[in-house]
Amino acid sequence: MPTPWQRDLAADRERLAPWLAARIPGAQELRLSELRAPQSSGFSNDTLLFDLEYRRDGRARREALVARIQPTGFQVFPDYDMGLQFRALELLAPTEVPVPRARWLESDDASVLGAPFYVMDQVAGRVPPDNPPYHVAGWVTEIPPEERAAIWWGGIGCMARIHRLDWRAVGFGFLDRPERGATPLDQQLAYYQDYLRWAAGGREQPTIEAALAWLRKHQPSGEPTVLSWGDARIGNILFDGTRPAAVLDWEMVGLGSPEMDLAWQIFLDKHHSVGIGQPRLAGFPGYEETVDRYQEQSGFAIRHLHYYEVFAGFRFAVIMLRLAQQMVRYAVMDEATGRAFERNNTVTRLLAGLLDLPEPR
């Protein structure tokens, strides 16, 4: 991905200012602050924060905005649709799911920021960090246990609200991809199987391939279909204190079983704690209690959690495979280390443990 320190932020600012001015009728004396990247910026896109000041109708105005830019270099995902993310924010705006206000989408003119991008409002708050994980360092380690519990339950509450939506009525019917399979799970498995083939490039990935075979063999049926956030976890929520202020990162949005998102949040939390030999912080509710609370709030029964934890591990392992290659590309790892890391990392070790597979080598 084109990381913020590789971007020419001064040149980006110079091109972005007139683009914004053209989208605010009557704006005068428009000024754009320096562009900056959030510390929690992810691996799959560039995120830039800035303030916009201008005068309109004789009044001074100031807006805090965010630009999310499609990667132009090394891509983590085989395809990347900024329009999909923007559309998801627009469709969710009138619902009870808190999301940032989507402002403008640029899908055609690459001369502005070098790739498609969209602009949305900034939302005040802070995100539980991934690097280092929130169980290890950062503001979550500094708050009382009862506040950690409130944050965790806030994430479960957001998930339940997403799943309770009538996804057809809200407008997400376009996410159904029958050409990939008859059910949402068929479609998800087909997508990640293609993703694995693309990312592996012909190299064997024993743990990931064994997990895919197990998932195919033990595939459940007759499940309810909900709008799936995709990357469901507290690390993708902005919290105002302990209140969820905005649900972020819709790049993996799709349709699926409600258990898919719940298992993803649990697996990612394990990855950030026991997966790296770190005890979970005091205050975070247990996983059985989490399942009970989710069932109460969503109305959906959880019957195949182990299956979807394996699916979460499989999906994350495929993404981690590509991240290993990204780190080689950007000289964070040498090639030999990167090749070894593709097979043997925190995710594949957790995945192997779920299936009683040999320790990755």
Q: Which pLDDT belongs to residue 261?
A: 98
Q: Are residues 196 and 284 in the same domain?
A: yes
Residue 264 covered by a domain: yes
Q: Are residues 195 and 293 in the same domain?
A: yes
Percent of the chain residues topping a pLDDT of 90: 92
Residue 44: half-sphere exposure toward Cβ, Cα within 13 Å: 16
Q: Are residues 78 and 171 in the same domain?
A: no
For residue 305, CA distances in Å to 154, 214, 215, 231, 311 come to 20, 15, 13, 17, 10
CA distance 282 to 146: 9
Task: Produce one character per residue of 187-201: b if its CB has 16 or more CB atoms within 10 Å, e if not.
Answer: bbbebbbebbeebbe
CA distance 170 to 253: 14
Q: Which pLDDT belongs to residue 5?
A: 44
Could you tell me the two tokens for 188? 């998800």
User: Per residue in 173-227, pLDDT tens?
Assistant: 999 999 999 999 999 999 999 999 999 999 999 999 999 999 999 999 999 999 9
Q: Are residues 331 and 215 in the same domain?
A: yes
Residue 258 covered by a domain: yes
What is the domain count for the chain?
2
CA distance 341 to 343: 5
186 CB neighbour count, 10 Å cutoff = 16
| Type of residue found at 114 | G
| Type of residue found at 238 | L
| Type of residue found at 162 | I
Q: Are residues 59 and 104 in the same domain?
A: yes
Q: Are residues 92 and 160 in the same domain?
A: no
CA distance 253 to 264: 13
With cut-offs at 50, 70 and 90, classify the pLDDT of residue 2.
very low
Closest to 232 measured CA to CA, from 163, 180, 147, 293: 163
User: Per residue in 132-150, pLDDT tens?
Assistant: 999 999 999 999 999 999 9
Q: Which pLDDT belongs to residue 44?
A: 54
Q: What is the mean pLDDT of residues 62-89?
A: 93
Helix (H, G, I), strand (E, B) or coil at 40: coil
Containing structural domain, residue 320: 139-354
Cβ distance 146 to 140 under 8 Å?
A: no
Minimum mean pLDDT range among 2-11, 20-29, 96-105 = 2-11
At 16, which CATH number? 3.30.200.20
